[in-house]
C-alpha cells in the first residue's frame, strides 16, 4: 500500500466528473487500499478518487475507527432532513465552512467484491457520503457552503 498525493483546491481534476468503474480489477483493489491508507495518513474521514488524481467513481469513508465503507459507483437514492455543520476537505487543509446537507442519506454502491449494497447514515456519515459523492461530480464543499470559517 502507498500514501498517494492529495490534489489541492485549484487543481482542474477536482472539477471534472469521474467516470464509472466498469470492472473491478486488481488496479481498482490497489487504489482502494491506497486511498484508505492515504485518508488515514491525512487524518480525514473520507476520500474520493479524483482527490488523488484518478477520475473514477470511487470513494472511501471512515467516520468510525475501523469501519471503512468502500463506495464504487455510488448513487444517492434517498435523503431526508437537514443539518448545518462545519465541513472541511483534505484537498483544502486548514479551511472549513458551514454547509447545509441532508440529515440522513441512503446510497447504493458496489464493494470491492462486485456486490451491490445500500448504506444508510445520519449526521457525519450522511455528510461524508454527500461530500465524497460531490467530489465524483466535480463539486467541492465550497459549492454548498453557507459561510466560511477557520478552525484553530
- Active site members: 132
**Unique residue bearing C-alpha cell 485549484:** 10
Q: Exposed e or buried b for every residue in 92-121, given b needs 16+ CB within 10 A?
A: beebbbebebbbbbbbebbeeeeeeeebeb
The secondary structure of residue 52, as a DSSP letter, is G
- E strand spans, 5-82: 46-48, 58-64, 67-80
For the chain, the first-to-last Cα distance in angstroms comes to: 32
The residues with which 56 forms a beta bridge, in sequence order, are 19
Rounded distance between C-alpha atoms, residue 50 and residue 35, angstroms: 11
- Rounded CA-CA distance 93/86 in Å is 13
Amino acid at each position: 500500500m502507498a500514501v498517494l498525493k492529495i490534489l489541492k483546491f485549484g487543481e482542474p481534476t477536482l472539477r471534472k466528473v469521474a467516470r464509472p468503474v466498469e470492472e473491478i480489477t486488481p488496479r481498482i483493489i490497489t487504489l482502494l487500499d491506497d486511498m484508505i491508507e492515504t485518508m488515514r495518513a491525512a487524518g480525514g474521514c473520507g476520500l474520493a478518487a479524483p482527490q488523488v488524481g484518478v477520475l473514477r467513481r470511487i470513494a472511501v469513508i471512515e467516520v468510525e475507527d475501523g469501519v471503512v465503507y468502500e463506495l464504487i459507483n455510488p448513487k444517492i437514492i434517498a435523503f431526508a432532513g437537514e443539518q448545518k455543520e462545519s465541513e472541511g476537505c483534505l484537498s483544502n487543509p486548514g479551511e472549513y465552512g458551514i454547509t447545509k446537507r441532508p440529515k440522513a442519506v441512503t446510497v447504493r454502491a458496489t464493494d470491492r467484491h462486485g456486490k451491490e449494497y445500500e448504506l444508510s447514515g445520519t449526521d457525519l456519515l450522511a455528510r461524508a457520503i454527500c461530500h465524497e459523492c460531490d467530489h465524483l461530480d466535480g463539486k467541492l464543499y465550497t459549492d454548498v457552503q453557507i459561510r466560511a470559517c477557520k478552525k484553530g
